[in-house]
Structure 1
């Protein structure tokens, strides 16, 4: 027998109940046994960084992954369920440094690289366990005991194999370049990582003079936002085809771009244009550098030429760019092209090295004021101005980056980027713009910088000869052991990480001298990009790997991943086997707060996963995620959660409760042989037909990874099911003499509920499990133990009746339009009206209005239905307008008197409207004071004339006669009273079968009329065995009905026995 259903469900309590049920019954393990050996469906998990507890943004992707895997398991496909943890790299190192209070790399080395690496490993182990428990809390079913870790030996050694293949093709090289550099972390930042760190900041920019040689007080006027780089200036660049001017201002003559002259010069006084010329006319000129006295400058030839550069812009600055090849990536390339000297001023901590006089030992980021003073002494300072611009910051520690000349290791991309792009074309990209973004990245990306001058990460398997600098890339642990000539005993037994791997030496295969491993570790995207191979026994069981790759699905948050994880997966798989690693890639956007603002701990608007789970429940959280268009950022918060719970989950729970409570009263359970659908009434066949369409729709949505589409369809179906089907048919479940009809109603309701919860079970695993256990397992112990062990519903096409569905859709359309008319007229549905007139736009609407007249009259609470021919002209309805104040705009003018205006606009609606319609400024008295108002402060809203409620849509129109006589008024008040009394029954904790006694007290004759005229109806609706008028001294409840009031007292009179065979039809 079904268990009673509470009228309200605690979603959080339900989560914990179901989690305990799954754990006790080993539900996940049993599911794996059910699907084992079935055709595979392969999901490849993008590893979550095991570095901190989850936020709600992590839960979006994990909810999506879980839903799709649950769906395919219900369709009897075998899955691996392997979760991944990203373990290595700066994200972990920076947090460990914070824990230990470290400021620089020197602190790490003093502490001990081995101890630091072990601390990083411990942090990963700690937070991977926390994230595991949080994911379980979310309802995410994975093989948690067999998650992969990118710090594993298998993962690291498989990357060695990849790099070895790259080396065999001649793609690995050591490059000298100027790279973005984090002075705090002491490492270069790759192009892949740069895009994530740009921030809008204000820097002090400087305009300064570069005096032209062999000229008297002639200067190039130059602008820079990075004053520290001026110490290393060797050239200036102009655009050869841009127009420049030679101007005189004060004692100086300046050269600068014509388009910028006015903005730059006018702030410092008047000027005269002496000459116009092209940028190419300036090339070849030489100038005196601003810091030629520095020893580092003296070591160069001090040429300081003006060079042409097509990338110079005349949109900002002065149109003349200072060039310091040791401090900028583009500058460095120009240095190569024009054979310029390279001055590298800073060390890895961003501190000036020897050769820079008083700048030596100072942080580059701190010296701007010192430079400005020096420039002013030399009469080279023209102006200092704040500049708001996007500047790169470290993506992990948020420190501003500097540009520094370094040696790094790269993979050359030109010879195989086309092969990667060919594989990109074989993938289905959702959203589709992902394809364009990935192709654009591949076409324009530079060589892949794979090295980091850090500690916790992949030990690059590059051994460089101490004598001849030739290098060799080791491809496996076995190869290293075979080649090792020293340090193997020290390394053996350790993971391939620093510092242990650093001890191993091999012979140089070119000159025979000893080769040492380079100290660099790898870019962390190598770690995640190899998982297509490292997690699937590629090195040991190739047939097993071929079973699961290419994966059917990869799914991750897409911002940044086109140049990071998606790219590294594609590139590494292209190198390893020249195949795409996945068939479909699904990306989702970012999570913002409910106001659309980015979530940040510093702003106080970030929501941790556990906080959200414990406030709204995981089913509600997941539904928020599934309801969102994945290509757009999601606004997440508790207001949205409350709306979703009320709109969907409460409706589903109430529908489930309605079925169970009435089925208990009727002692109904599903029969072994149900009534054939074709023998059931129209309403049953209609909702069952729509159910089959929903099942078809759900398969398409899951398989096309479009859960928003399914969520909207599920909500629409539940709304129709609850407020359409059940509302009209509820009397069939209660005191019904026709047992066959009651049985068919129960069968239909049961079939729909059971199929519906299986459709949404992958998305809402908790509530659907709770409902399933009561609907099915409570009376059938042979049924699958969990809803997640059942098979996904299959549509029965023989039940689909599109003609009937079209007819019921037309009925629904009519009802919705009628509700709109009532709402516009301000008349509740509980108030009966005398006549409803309908004119359809098609014959179908006229047909259904005639066929379902009784249904429409019942639903719409009217006494008579008048049906006109399609196309009948609508009644002439005079337009009446009301002036509505724009309160937000007016509040800025009248302040605290806004509240008084709100009251005035209600009490003097018509007078206020007349004032506004004159189009002239007018005055009103608010709180005793005259206030001037403008017609622009109001908006004119159309309202319906009295005595009619009208609405139209696409040729269909409906019109109510809103004249309410005494009989209609009494019935309306009765229905309002009935609603209040039903609420009081619930508030008193009465069960649905409990009978009551009711005492009422009122001095109003109208109240007496209601109770006397409608006594039998009220008794039947309320299960009231005694209704009487009397004095109520205590415990009574006052009810306001329009202008009259009544006090009532309800008492429990015991439970009702219910026999469907003998009960009379009183409803």
Structure 2
């Protein structure tokens, strides 16, 4: 360590006067290769970091086009992709080549074109963030993060962040307002249009009618406040995240109408893809707001994962798996697309495609079919819900159950919207659709088929109309087009006083008086029994049209027995059963098999395992099962078996 040596390119002009010496580095392994690495601080991230900590002079060889700069002699002006053969020839001519070989290793490539990339060291402008770090962390605590682990992810970034690079070597972009004097090194940051106009000594007339972009802004020169020389703006433009971060202030008249700005700040809600935004948009918003106001720029942030193709791969035009919005909107429909997005857990990637969209379309068709069913029969009977006094209708328990379901949904939907949980809302909506279509509408069909005026039919019409109207009002923000289409026929066509669009109506409020929890439990219990009965038929491959004599039922709670007794006829009708029997004990219907826990007992008993296993198999099954359920020990062949040493399987 510390030895000086002659380098392989000391003959280049750029290398004159530079020392080469040996330093230690933790990243070099003595188990791979020679244990010696020749670094180039201007050509690699790790090499550059090592040069900073060891005060090594850095040479950056390439311009923005990948061509070698002056001082590299025979390489100057040539592109980095074209000079490999010349470099090999030069090394051979100098007699310093030991071996030329090919080694497979990881190398960066362009994500779009797949072409190799080279590391280029350039000078950029940074904002020192150390003084702001803890102030920003205090601001982060004010924000509601969805998902909640987003808070810790942002805090982790703030704990470990470096200085913020704010410049870009680009043409288009908001020009950085920095004028750097080449004579004395003085730097001046211009704070606004009026200040620049006041300090300009050249080029103002060419710029004044334009926005602060190239090339117009670059014509403006100012007088250096120290040496009084003419100063030009630096050629860099700003990092686009500077623009994104200042939006809450620049677009809402922060400097010109602060009272107006206060009406809109902070934002109630923002949303963006999680990967990357903790150090990009969220970060830039937080930085700007912390500096200017010392508080959060938004109240709630919803972060979501990525949209992939149906196989879980990234979408790329070059890969041929990208789906353009216009195509998806035309083929699957925008409301289907919106349902797909909102019903998905935002923490996980969404596999997007037409196959998945078709599954969503089936759910949407359930809503449409309910609506079509109502419209078809309402038109036949000329039923107008706005000409009916709802207080005089004699509702059935089934009607009251449906309205209890709908108003429970409205109550929960309001909370889900308030808490920005769209996926939870859509799960509830799907459950409600299933309940109303597969139970209420199906069991009410005959009520709509009655001829003439009938109070029971009126109750069914009014209940279904209210259910549909309230449901579409609740999901209109998520499925705006289908909701308004249904609204036009369901409401506007029969009520001339109704608002023109569903989106001009208020969000529906839940009526607590209509949420009958006892009735909900009663009918939900019957539905569950019917669902389990159908599942049992399917498992036994016995169709519903084949009548069976008895259905035996054991309810979970004693008070549910009265539900079964009251609605036994509905159960029999749904399952094509002649009799429903309530059971208190199902042990006679269950066969148990006692099994030793071999991984545990094998270590514990050794050679005695076989004897214990045989005797355990011959013991009264009910005694063993009782011991398992009570977590008691068991004496078997002179050995004490604890509760975890054995278990039972049951087969009905």
Which TM bucket (shorter chain)? 0.7 to 0.9
SS at 2:272 equivalent: strand
* Aligned-pair CA distance for 1:772: 0.8
Corresponding residue of 1:325: 41
Trace 1:1035-1050 onto structure 2 (pairs within 5 A): none
Corresponding residue of 2:12: 294
SS at 1:403 equivalent: coil
* Contact 1:623 1:764 (8 Å CA) reproduced: yes
Cα separation, partners in 2 of 1:518 and 1:379, compared to 1, 3 Å: closer
* Match status 1:868 vs 2:582: yes
Q: Distance in 2 between matches of 1:424 and 1:397?
A: 38
* Match status 1:435 vs 2:151: yes
Q: Distance in 2 between matches of 1:763 and 1:446?
A: 40
SS at 2:101 equivalent: strand
Corresponding residue of 1:694: 409
* Contact 2:166 2:239 (8 Å CA) reproduced: yes
* Aligned-pair CA distance for 1:614: 0.6
Q: Distance in 1 between matches of 2:330 and 2:4?
A: 70
Cα separation, partners in 2 of 1:801 and 1:516, compared to 1, 3 Å: same
Higher relative contact order (CA 8 A, sep 6+): 1
* Match status 1:709 vs 2:427: no
Segment of structure 1 superposing worse, 713-722 or 570-579 = 570-579
* Aligned-pair CA distance for 1:309: 3.0
Q: Distance in 2 between matches of 1:375 and 1:610?
A: 57
Structure 2 unaligned runs (5+)?
594-649
Corresponding residue of 1:756: 471
User: Which of 244, 269, 280 is equivalent to 1:528?
Assistant: 244
Cα separation, partners in 2 of 1:311 and 1:444, compared to 1, 3 Å: farther
* Aligned-pair CA distance for 1:782: 0.6
* Contact 2:170 2:236 (8 Å CA) reproduced: yes
* Aligned-pair CA distance for 1:536: 0.7
Corresponding residue of 2:604: none
* Aligned-pair CA distance for 1:374: 5.5
* Superposed CA offset, 1:328-382 (max 9, x none): 3443343344343333322222222344344333322444455456556745445
* Match status 1:360 vs 2:76: yes
Corresponding residue of 1:1032: none
* Aligned-pair CA distance for 1:313: 5.1
* Superposed CA offset, 1:35-81 (max 9, x none): xxxxxxxxxxxxxxxxxxxxxxxxxxxxxxxxxxxxxxxxxxxxxxx
Q: Distance in 1 between matches of 2:443 and 2:588?
A: 29
Segment of structure 1 superposing worse, 308-317 or 700-709 = 308-317
* Match status 1:613 vs 2:613: no
Cα separation, partners in 2 of 1:874 and 1:479, compared to 1, 3 Å: farther
* Match status 1:539 vs 2:255: yes
User: Which of 438, 453, 461 is equivalent to 2:169?
Assistant: 453
Corresponding residue of 2:615: none
SS at 2:9 equivalent: coil
* Contact 2:393 2:455 (8 Å CA) reproduced: no
* Superposed CA offset, 1:729-754 (max 9, x none): 21111126882222111121111111
Trace 1:567-966 onto structure 2 (pairs within 5 A): 567-646=283-362, 648-671=363-386, 674-676=389-391, 680-735=395-450, 739-862=454-577, 864-873=578-587, 875=589
* Superposed CA offset, 1:668-696 (max 9, x none): 21155644499522111111111111111
Cα separation, partners in 2 of 1:319 and 1:571, compared to 1, 3 Å: farther
Corresponding residue of 1:504: 220
* Aligned-pair CA distance for 1:284: 2.1
* Contact 1:694 1:713 (8 Å CA) reproduced: yes
Corresponding residue of 1:351: 67
* Aligned-pair CA distance for 1:858: 1.5
Q: Distance in 2 between matches of 1:413 and 1:836?
A: 72
Trace 1:268-287 onto structure 2 (pairs within 5 A): 283-287=1-5
Q: Distance in 2 between matches of 1:344 and 1:697?
A: 61
* Aligned-pair CA distance for 1:829: 2.8
* Contact 1:677 1:799 (8 Å CA) reproduced: no
Q: Distance in 2 between matches of 1:399 and 1:764?
A: 43
Structure having the larger proportion of residues in strand: 1
* Contact 1:300 1:341 (8 Å CA) reproduced: no
Q: Distance in 2 between matches of 1:381 and 1:445?
A: 43
* Aligned-pair CA distance for 1:756: 0.7
Cα separation, partners in 2 of 1:603 and 1:878, compared to 1, 3 Å: same
Q: Distance in 2 between matches of 1:735 and 1:627?
A: 38
* Aligned-pair CA distance for 1:859: 1.4
Corresponding residue of 1:384: 101
Trace 1:82-121 onto structure 2 (pairs within 5 A): none
* Aligned-pair CA distance for 1:444: 2.0
* Contact 1:689 1:799 (8 Å CA) reproduced: yes
* Superposed CA offset, 1:420-439 (max 9, x none): 22211211111222222222
User: Which of 188, 192, 197 is equivalent to 1:476?
Assistant: 192
Trace 1:983-994 onto structure 2 (pairs within 5 A): none
* Aligned-pair CA distance for 1:466: 4.0
Corresponding residue of 1:464: 180
Trace 1:65-144 onto structure 2 (pairs within 5 A): none
* Superposed CA offset, 1:520-556 (max 9, x none): 1111111111101111111221111101101000111
Q: TM-score, normalised by structure 1?
A: 0.53
Q: Distance in 1 between matches of 2:282 and 2:160?
A: 16
SS at 1:307 equivalent: coil
Cα separation, partners in 2 of 1:658 and 1:614, compared to 1, 3 Å: same
Corresponding residue of 2:24: 308
Q: Distance in 2 between matches of 1:665 and 1:287?
A: 99
* Aligned-pair CA distance for 1:392: 6.4
Q: Distance in 1 between matches of 2:320 and 2:238?
A: 35
Cα separation, partners in 2 of 1:396 and 1:566, compared to 1, 3 Å: farther
Q: Distance in 2 between matches of 1:675 and 1:405?
A: 76
Q: Distance in 2 between matches of 1:501 and 1:841?
A: 77
- Number of aligned residue pairs: 595
Segment of structure 1 superposing worse, 546-555 or 486-495 = 486-495
* Superposed CA offset, 1:596-628 (max 9, x none): 111111111100001011111111111111111
* Superposed CA offset, 1:823-875 (max 9, x none): 1122333444443333334324432221111111111123x123132323353
Cα separation, partners in 2 of 1:878 and 1:472, compared to 1, 3 Å: closer
* Aligned-pair CA distance for 1:877: 8.1
* Contact 1:840 1:871 (8 Å CA) reproduced: no
* Contact 1:375 1:381 (8 Å CA) reproduced: no
* Contact 1:508 1:515 (8 Å CA) reproduced: yes
* Aligned-pair CA distance for 1:453: 2.4
* Contact 2:394 2:459 (8 Å CA) reproduced: no
* Contact 2:411 2:509 (8 Å CA) reproduced: yes
Q: Distance in 2 between matches of 1:596 and 1:877?
A: 44
SS at 2:270 equivalent: strand
Q: Distance in 2 between matches of 1:724 and 1:577?
A: 56
Corresponding residue of 2:622: none
Trace 1:121-200 onto structure 2 (pairs within 5 A): none
Structure 1 unaligned runs (5+)?
1-282, 880-956, 960-1067
